[in-house]
Amino acid sequence: MPVRVLVLRTAGTNCDLETLNAFQLAGAEAERLHAGALLSRARRLDEFHILAFPGGFSYGDDLGAGTVLANQLRARLREDLLRFIESGRLVIGICNGFQILVRLGVLPGLEGNDQTVSLVENASGLFEDRWVRLRVETSKSPFLERGEVLEMPVAHKEGRLVVRDRSLLEILRRNGQIACRYAGEGPEDGPEKGTVEGDPGYPANPNGSLEAIAGLINPAGNVFGLMPHPERHLRRLHHPNWTRWADGRARLLESDWRLGDGYRIFERAVKHAKNL
Amino acid sequence: MNPIILSIEVFPKNGLAKGEPSPAADHPRGRSLERELGSLRWRNVPRVLVTDLYFLKGPEEALPPDRLESAVKYLFSDPVTQSARLDRMGIQKTAAAGKSWTHRATVLKRPGVMDPVEASAVKGLADLGIEGVSACTAARYYLFGPLLSPAQKEALSTKVLANPVIEEVVWDDEPVQPPFLSAAESQVERSEVPLRVAGDEKLLEISSRGQLSLNLEEMRAIQGHFRSLGREPTDVELETIAQTWSEHCCHKTFTGLIDYVKVSADGAETRERIDNLLRQTIKRATEAVRTTWCLSVFEDNAGVVAFDEAWGISFKVETHNHPSAIEPYGGAGTGIGGVIRDTLGTGLGAKPIVNTDVFCFGPPELPWEEVPPGALHPLRVLRGVVAGVRDYGNRMGIPTASGAIYFNERYAGNPLVYCGSVGLIPRDAVRKEVRPGDRIYVVGGRTGRDGIHGATFSSVELTEESEAISSGAVQIGNAITEKKVLDVLLQARDRRLFRAVTDCGAGGLSSAVGEMGQKTGARVQLEKVPLKYQGLSYTEIWISEAQERMVLAVPREKAAELEALARAEDVECTDIGEFTSTGRLELSYRGAPVSDLDMNFLHQGIPRLPRPAVYREPAPRPEAYPRVASCGEALHRLLAAPNIASKEWVIRQYDHEVQGGSILKSLVGPRRDGPGDAVAFTPLYRSDRAIVIGCGMNPSYGDLDPYRMALSAVDEALRNVAAAGGDPARTAILDNFSWGNTRRPEVLGALVEAARGCHDGAVGFGTPFISGKDSLNNEYKAGGQSLSIPGSLLISSLAIVEDGRRLVSMDLKEPGNTLFLVGETLEELGGSHYFRFGGDGASRGGGGRVPGVVFPRARRILVALHRAIRDGLILSAHDLSEGGLAVAAAEMAFSGVCGCEIHLAHAPAAPGVKRDEALLFSESNTRFLLEVESASVTAVEKVFKGLPAAVVGTTSDAPVLRIFGMSGAKVVEEGLDGLRNSWKSLSRFLAG
């Protein structure tokens, strides 16, 4: 049976096509759907194995990043969504999608899904598009493999993670809910990169996130949100330095698709969902 | 049903980031504000607290308190980081934040100014079951620490906190009135303008009082037309003609008659009459070049070239100069929004895939006393323009990549904002056709009083009063409305629900419907147009330039399907009339006919009066070199010159990778900070076919030689895409002229010369122009003085390459490789950056010739370079432009974190070039520096056989740039970190 993926869009969503492409590359049967189709009950969430909230500016991010869509889903689709999550199906929120999941409270999914963390304006005060390096910190999520280092770009203005109080941070750590952190420069970019410990500071931590946190999972690990864009690194040619790599320059590669770090996240999710 | 007004105040919670005492410093928004305050150079920099504020209006019974509480928690504030307070209208005298604040400045939108928050808030409230809110607006207030003087308050109001064009500031306890409009009566009565008996003086008065920007001859032609009809024009008829005949809409200078006198340096005069300069130069070049891959040129909203068998690529570049001078944020945002609509309105609609932007500003560090009276400081214009393009482009989900910024004192009153949009379109959707009987639909945003007279306003000079007089001409965009239109339009295109589409740009519905119905006729019921608020006159409805609207010609039988599609996407889509076969433009309002114009007169009736133009060739002057301690010192100065310096601070604010097709970024190299020559994208996920985009411009050449300036701009635009691997045989270009007041013969003469340069450049390279636009009368009048911009020609380039995996970047790759210099260096330093910025202190060079282009050699160089890159022989390539060889070599080295050594004695040079400075800094065209593996050297030599190309050096381990002069002596030895540091000075300054 094919893995069915819903890429949810609404007014202002704008990374839906490349997110769709990522899941299709990974072999899933993916579909883009306007949120209105779920709200009107024309379509149902439980038709799908994976729900993706792509990046963009849902409703212009008026009233705060992700706020209006999160409010809409909370008011009109909350039960369906919680049931979807409790059934162990997968949810990924990328950038604006992460902001929506945080506003909804399903990330980190503590205290009865009340909002406990927030993604606020970058410390630089600017929208920034730059490549970062992520260190995966958890082994509790089907999207991720602990110890991996992944390169992909961030592009946001509100990505600085803050928590309601410090005790929450301890809980997140203990639960293994800190999915990935921004890491510093390794010895070399690209295929040979290494790992680096600690908060690397700006610009490696592009937004000033607390403890350099780039992504979170819920306690069960099936909901994953992150600020960086894995769907923008699906192939070698997406990387800013491919023109420097011997095998990037070599014209021999039949296809460089699926060789980008971001692809792995989608590949794992689809593989996991096959057994759902 | 008693409406009440509620206020919601949203405060930041303290302590999220450690560190008191200034709450402003906790938050980036407060910090950037404090930085701006710092720039006022007051002795006491006040402490500030920023609080968001929302006003809601609705009947009391529709605003239940429990639901409002949810709204405050989930919609208006972030419970983790903010606290909020809901109140009946009126903010408390002392804010909750503390008692140490002495002043409060509340900033509100002016009535009628678009507030994107309103639609989202009303939607969010409805989701929570609060249906009755009739209006909502976002505002903010600032609390200030120390006592402020009235002068300080005034400065804060006008320079820092708000833009008076769109916002008002209410201080302390003055009453705060939310900008909710009260319903006003609309004009229903048909109103005529008594034109038939008017004398010349009266005609001019009618034109100027109505902001019609029509000259006497044009007014007389209109008078004659209505005399022959035996009736007076209505107000809306006169407005329609003014919009259609505006310079902005019909380009009457470029397509008119010109009596041209050219006086050569020896005094010889040649005279000729030019009938339609555009046709004689730009369009003629495209005809002469004869390509098979141009699908649509100069006939639609954008030019279209073939991409592959199934797809085409469209490209259009627009200017939005005057609005950006007055309200940089809104002006630039609607500039990019407008050109994106051009893409949507090309053929049956193209999908926007890349934005480009090129700006010209006054110097960022211009002393306040040198800012022309009434003008905004260049730095404020820059920040506003960048933010406007950023917020609109990012929200639309279109990568903004490829651009440039030029600085010159003469842009201080009249900045230039060029916005480009590249689109992807199915080849079978390139043609459009309106048929009589098709319904006229307006899709997208509602119509308001915003942007009245934009087309006529942008066709005249700016003055110090422009801000006050023309504030209605400024629009504020809402990117999300446009994104929704995009989502509907492309689906409707693929289902063929309409037969033609165009955007509402300058002139609003008047231009859009007038253009679409030009060959058929159109009948519109103006009362059907959805309005933002009541009270617009029928003329205002017709000419409003409210943003985010498209006009479609919809076959009757498809109307229901289109309406259903729009409903599903929550987009407004309204039938406002039909296309007819009468050849007339018929408008009615609530049953009363208000216009019945002959389309033929409207589009062909404009009198063509010859305009005088003169160009006096300057006498040649020898090069005078500037004084400078060393070539290394000059190199540092050049790298730090704002035109050359890194624009990373700007580039990173644009999402340049959204849509997942970016394969060559603006910033390249291991540190991702090198200035790439071009950007590249793969528009289709299942193909490696790519587009490569670049541009060329050099305003400082124009004063010396506008013809060569144009040649150089074409050369640079083509160099940029060629250096990345773009195929010169599949490259198309666009022209955008921003010029001064062409009523002055010498300004128009320079335009003639530049247009001829465009022609000769395009023909010489075999590269067609596919689209273009001109913006004339860029002049700023203040205090009896007029400040004209330098003639500014932007050439944008677009190349198609079969395989994006064969492109190269400009950063040096590794030590031990060979450097080739391709192209001949001449002593061409006229207008060069070295002469302007290379000298010590105030020392400037002067004289000299502007670089020319040698055909057919130049074309052969590009073809050879493309072959070398395609065959994998080239590791890095960079074109030589501003600052010449020295700057190009430095950029390649520090971008690649790899040193190099260059020997000027080996550089291909014209006979007689004796000075090292000429070889280092001359800006001769068609030159490239290439990095080649030693194994490929022979092959590269073979490719460039018969062309000026030579091995000039090697890449090295040491992080140093070394250049040896003609005599063999070392003339430059500079560390890469130091060079990079100089180059990044502008970005550091902008980051504050």
Report pLDDT for A193: 43
Match domain B808-992 to its CATH number in 3.90.650.10, 3.30.360.10, 3.30.56.10, 3.30.950.10: 3.90.650.10
- In chain B, which residues have their Cβ closer than 8 Å to the Cβ of A164? 80
pLDDT tens per residue across span B414-450:
999 999 999 999 999 999 999 999 999 999 999 987 7
Q: What percent of chain A has pLDDT over 90?
A: 83
Report pLDDT for B463: 63
| Residue range A21-40: mean pLDDT, rounded | 97
Q: Is B320 a catalytic residue?
A: yes
**B657/A63 touch (CB, cutoff 8 Å), yes or no:** no
Distance (Å, rounded) from C-alpha B817 to C-alpha B956?
Answer: 8
**A234/B394 touch (CB, cutoff 8 Å), yes or no:** no
Write down the residue that tokens 């073809």 correspond to.
Answer: B863
Confirm or reject contact between B397 and chain A (CB < 8 A).
yes
Half-sphere exposure at residue B193, Cβ-oriented, CA atoms within 13 angstroms: 23
Confirm or reject contact between B400 and chain A (CB < 8 A).
no
| Token code pair at residue B444 | 């997208």
Q: Is A95 a catalytic residue?
A: yes
Would you place residue B717 in the very low, low, confident or very high pLDDT band (cuts 50, 70, 90)?
very high
Compute the count of residue pairs across chains A and B with CB atoms less than 8 Å apart: 191
Write down the residue that tokens 């589409």 correspond to.
Answer: B501
Q: By CA distance, what is A39's nearest residue in B?
A: B127
Report pLDDT for A187: 42
Confirm or reject contact between B987 and chain A (CB < 8 A).
no
Confirm or reject contact between B813 and chain A (CB < 8 A).
yes
**Cβ pair B768, B289 in contact under 8 A:** yes
- In chain B, which residues have their Cβ closer than 8 Å to the Cβ of A251? 803, 805-806, 872
CB atoms within 10 A of CB B659: 24
Report pLDDT for A166: 85
Choose among B440, B475, B211: nearest CA to B326: B475
Would you place residue B97 in the very low, low, confident or very high pLDDT band (cuts 50, 70, 90)?
very low
CB atoms within 10 A of CB B567: 13
- Comparing A249-263, B231-245, B497-511, which segment has the lowest mean pLDDT? A249-263
| Residue range B264-284: mean pLDDT, rounded | 95
* DSSP single-letter state for residue A220: T
Would you place residue B255 in the very low, low, confident or very high pLDDT band (cuts 50, 70, 90)?
very high
User: CA B373 from chain center: how many Å?
Assistant: 24
> Strand B960-964 to strand B103-109: parallel, antiparallel, or no bridges (unpaired)?
unpaired
| Token code pair at residue B976 | 């890469």
Distance (Å, rounded) from C-alpha B400 to C-alpha B563?
Answer: 32
B421 Cβ contact list (under 8 Å, min separation 6): B302, B315, B316, B317, B336, B339, B340, B342, B343, B352, B354, B355, B356, B398
Would you place residue B851 in the very low, low, confident or very high pLDDT band (cuts 50, 70, 90)?
very high
Distance (Å, rounded) from C-alpha A104 to C-alpha A71?
Answer: 7
pLDDT tens per residue across span B445-487:
999 877 776 656 565 666 655 554 444 556 778 999 999 999 9
Choose among B797, B769, B807, B768: nearest CA to B689: B807
Q: By CA distance, what is B138's nearest residue in A?
A: A63
| Residue range B630-657: mean pLDDT, rounded | 97
pLDDT tens per residue across span B346-395:
999 999 999 999 999 999 999 988 999 888 899 989 999 999 999 999 99
Report pLDDT for B101: 77
Say which CATH superfamily domain A4-273 falls into.
Class I glutamine amidotransferase (GATase) domain (3.40.50.880)
DSSP state letters, B270-300: EEEEEE-HHIIIIIHHHHHH--S-EEE-SSS
pLDDT tens per residue across span A185-230:
754 444 334 444 568 889 999 999 999 999 999 999 999 999 999 9
| Token code pair at residue B657 | 């990778």
* Dihedral sign of CA atoms A132, A135, A136, A137 in order: negative
**Cβ pair B780, B817 in contact under 8 A:** no
Choose among B655, B670, B710, B675: nearest CA to B880: B675
* Identity at B346, one-letter amino acid code: T
Question: Vertex B621, ends B616 and B627: CA angle to 5°?
Answer: 135
| Residue range B864-881: mean pLDDT, rounded | 96
| Residue range B402-423: mean pLDDT, rounded | 95
Residues counted in chain A: 276
Choose among B693, B766, B684, B764: nearest CA to B723: B693
Catalytic residue among A137, A151, A231, A267: A231
| Token code pair at residue B891 | 């950029």
Report pLDDT for B16: 45
Distance (Å, rounded) from C-alpha A184 to C-alpha A18?
Answer: 27
Could you say which of A75, A162, A240 has the minimum Cβ distance to residue B81? Answer: A162
* DSSP single-letter state for residue A63: T
pLDDT tens per residue across span B969-985:
999 999 999 999 999 99
- In chain A, which residues have their Cβ closer than 8 Å to the Cβ of B127? 71-72, 75-76
- Comparing A167-176, B106-115, B333-342, B359-368, which segment has the lowest mean pLDDT? B106-115
Element of type H or E holding B468: helix B466-469
Please list the residue range(s) of chain B that carry CATH number 3.90.650.10: 194-263+434-463+473-609, 808-992
Report pLDDT for B186: 66
Report pLDDT for B460: 60
Catalytic residue among B103, B225, B248, B322: B248
Confirm or reject contact between B806 and chain A (CB < 8 A).
yes
pLDDT over 60 (residue B98): no
Would you place residue A165 in the very low, low, confident or very high pLDDT band (cuts 50, 70, 90)?
confident
Q: Say which CATH topology domain B3-171 has.
A: Mth169; Chain: A , (3.30.1280)
Could you say which of A68, A128, A241 has the minimum Cβ distance to residue B120? Answer: A68
- In chain B, which residues have their Cβ closer than 8 Å to the Cβ of A57? 394-395, 397, 479-480
Match domain B194-263+434-463+473-609 to its CATH number in 3.30.1300.10, 3.30.565.10, 3.90.650.10, 1.10.4190.10: 3.90.650.10
By CB neighbour count within 10 A (0-12 exposed, 13-18 middle, 19+ buried), where does B959 fall? middle
**A68/B123 touch (CB, cutoff 8 Å), yes or no:** yes
| Residue range B250-258: mean pLDDT, rounded | 91
CA distance A51 to chain B (A): 19
pLDDT tens per residue across span B679-713:
999 999 989 999 999 999 999 999 999 999 999 99
pLDDT tens per residue across span B772-804:
999 998 888 887 788 899 999 999 999 999 999
Residue B219, helix vs strand vs coil: helix
pLDDT tens per residue across span B3-54:
888 999 988 876 544 323 344 445 667 777 777 777 677 777 777 778 889 9
Report pLDDT for B182: 64
Q: Which of residues 520-549 of B touch A (CB under 8 A)?
A: none
CA distance B774 to chain A (A): 32
Confirm or reject contact between B992 and chain A (CB < 8 A).
no
pLDDT over 60 (residue A248): no
Distance (Å, rounded) from C-alpha B971 to C-alpha B227?
Answer: 76
**Cβ pair A68, B120 in contact under 8 A:** yes
Confirm or reject contact between B115 and chain A (CB < 8 A).
no
Q: Which of residues 848-877 of B touch A (CB under 8 A)?
A: 872, 875-876
Q: Which residues does residue B738 pair with via DSSP β-bridges, in sequence order?
A: B775, B792
Report pLDDT for B457: 59
First-to-last alpha carbon distance for chain B, in angstroms, is: 52
Catalytic residue among B320, B656, B833, B903: B320
| Residue range A56-63: mean pLDDT, rounded | 93
Report pLDDT for B17: 40
**B657/A229 touch (CB, cutoff 8 Å), yes or no:** yes
ipTM of this predicted complex?
0.95
Distance (Å, rounded) from C-alpha A180 to C-alpha B222?
Answer: 70
Residue B416, helix vs strand vs coil: strand
Please list the residue range(s) of chain B that carry CATH number 3.30.1280.10: 3-171
